[in-house]
Amino acid sequence: MCIHALKWANKLRRGRETMVLSRRAILLSGVALGIAAAAAGKAQAAGFAEWEAGLKGKPAREIRILAISHPASDAMKALTPEFEAATGIKVTWEIVGSGEIMSKQLLAQTARDTSYDVYMVRGTALAEYEAKRMLSDLGDLLKDKAATPDDYDFEDIHVAYRQGIGTAKGKTLGIPVAGETFFLSYRKDLFEKYGRKAPDTMDELLETARFFQNKEPGLYGISMRAETGRTLALSWELFTPAFGANVIDQKTWDVTVDSPKTQQSLEYLLALLSNAPPDIETYSWDAAVSAFASGKTAMWFDATSLQPWLTDATKSKIVGKVGYVAPPSGPKGRFGPVGGWSLGLPANSRNKEAGWAFIAWMTSKQKAKEVVAKGGVPSRLSTLSSPEFTAQDPELAKAIKDSLDAAGNLLAIGRNWVPQTPEANKIQQTAGFYAGQALLKKLSPKEALAAAKPELEQISARIKKSL
């Protein structure tokens, strides 16, 4: 399972914001989760069973699903024959690359193509889907007891996933099936050797990185993504909320990139990266995890989904030597990012009822656990807190849950890791370019932010005009 997921992860493009997902990223419970649905109780199972039986009694239907190659889609494909037998709905899967799926969906929207009934959608791009009216609002379906099992319990899906990769402009446009967040991994052996504790605050993180920088020959303090451009902007955004800083205010869309707090956040990032390998400005996700897995750094701040690299002896020299904690807290609190994929209904679909039946079935409490058991990614609190999940590696399970809670904190203050606007890519490319100039010491942080402001103001004006 791990090797399959890692092969999949290696295919992803460098530098994109989607954090690489894998089967064992947050699934440590094995196949035991597949039978855990029985613990849900007779009343809950009856609610689902009655709803499922109602689907079977309807005329034969067919749906087509457009998805990416991914452990979550593999797991749902494995359960598709059971879904077909239980509901009478025939399913055809079309699998494409993660880099081409949105273009294909945009083309279908423009051509008014009605071929697809379920989309796998990039959660951080939902604002663009919403702006182009490509997806149906799922809110009414979730409330409709004829369309959704009584015991579906939408609130059981972690709020960070529900809001972070399932919602845009107040509309529920997707049901999360493959989410992830960031956490801090550290070398337990080195920390024990030098009497250090895992950092809990941003001050402690910086101090710890400085402590380990060149502590031993070839050892650096930390590795993380810092490739100049959008990648660097996404790493910068891991810290701005903790300072109360913004590149652009996501509520007013005013440019605040040159504010004292934003400058402070950039200076913190640069100080942290000064305790990384000397070529850190070239690091995307793969270089960052490889540096840590090879024993080159004492810490690594990146995606939960990449954790399997650290336990794969063919890729890691530090197997059994790694600990995990949630992102560090800062002056304004503890925050984290969330990204990943959801299932949505194409606006052009002629089979929305059957398409929704597929989504509701696969993401129900009963079947979601079976999806996880077959290699999918848990999105529900009931799975994340289950003994089957937590028993295998309590520290890792706690770090994942705490990190998701930190991501929920970000959403609670009205912010997203990737701004919910079709202009998000341009915002981050611009911010990341000028932050890169400061990282490369071509400009001071203050000069870099001042240079970024005019370009960001042009983007801001376009956003405000579109509102």
pLDDT under 70: residue ranges of the chain? 1-46
Shared-domain flag, residues 57 and 146: yes
Range of the domain at 75: 2-179+339-397
Residue 86, token pair as written in the block? 């239980």
End-of-domain residue from the set 397, 421, 443: 397
Shared-domain flag, residues 88 and 13: yes
Domain assignment of residue 18, yes or no: yes
Q: Which residue in 339, 411, 324, 337 sits closest to 377, CA to CA?
A: 339
| pLDDT of res. 374 | 87
Domain assignment of residue 199, yes or no: yes
| pLDDT of res. 17 | 41
Shared-domain flag, residues 8 and 147: yes
Shared-domain flag, residues 300 and 207: yes
Residue in the structure block whose two tokens are 């990449």: 306
Q: What is the DSSP letter of 373?
A: H
Shared-domain flag, residues 389 and 440: no
Residue 79: partners with Cβ closer than 8 Å, 6 or more residues away:
362, 367, 370, 371, 374
| pLDDT of res. 305 | 82
Strands 322-325 vs 175-187: parallel, antiparallel or unpaired: antiparallel
Domain assignment of residue 408, yes or no: no
User: How crowded is residue 244: how many other Cβ atoms within 10 Å of its Cβ?
Assistant: 16
Residue in the structure block whose two tokens are 């309807």: 58
Residue 434: partners with Cβ closer than 8 Å, 6 or more residues away:
443, 448, 449, 451, 452
Angstrom distances, CA of residue 274 to CA of 209, 212, 374: 9, 12, 42
DSSP helix/strand/coil, 397: helix
| pLDDT of res. 299 | 99
Shared-domain flag, residues 163 and 196: no
Q: Positive or negative, the Cα torsion across 346, 349, 355, 360?
A: positive
| Structural element, H or E, at residue 322 | strand 322-325
| pLDDT of res. 444 | 98
Angstrom distances, CA of residue 447 to CA of 182, 231, 259, 263, 455: 30, 20, 12, 10, 14
pLDDT, tens digit (0-9, with 9 covering 90-100), for 218-229 = 999 999 999 999
On the 0-12 / 13-18 / 19+ scale of CB atoms within 10 A, 45 is: middle
Domain assignment of residue 96, yes or no: yes
Q: Which residue in 201, 207, 407 sits closest to 298, CA to CA?
A: 207
Residue 10, token pair as written in the block? 């290696």
End-of-domain residue from the set 356, 372, 397: 397
d(CA 223, CA 298): 8
How many helical (H) and strand (E) elements, i.e. helices and strands, does the chain have? 19, 10
Residue 146: partners with Cβ closer than 8 Å, 6 or more residues away:
54
pLDDT, tens digit (0-9, with 9 covering 90-100), for 88-119 = 999 999 999 988 999 999 999 999 999 999 99
Shared-domain flag, residues 44 and 174: yes
| pLDDT of res. 369 | 83
| pLDDT of res. 140 | 95
Residue 216, token pair as written in the block? 């031993």
> Whole-model pTM?
0.83
Distance of CA 83 to the CA centre of its chain: 27
Shared-domain flag, residues 303 and 357: no
| pLDDT of res. 192 | 98
Distance of CA 23 to the CA centre of its chain: 14
Number of structural domains found in the chain: 2
**φ/ψ (deg, to 5) at 254:** -80, 145
d(CA 38, CA 441): 59
Shared-domain flag, residues 14 and 49: yes
CATH code for the domain in which residue 155 is found: 3.40.190.10
Cα angle for residues 240, 309, 377 (degrees, 5° grid): 75
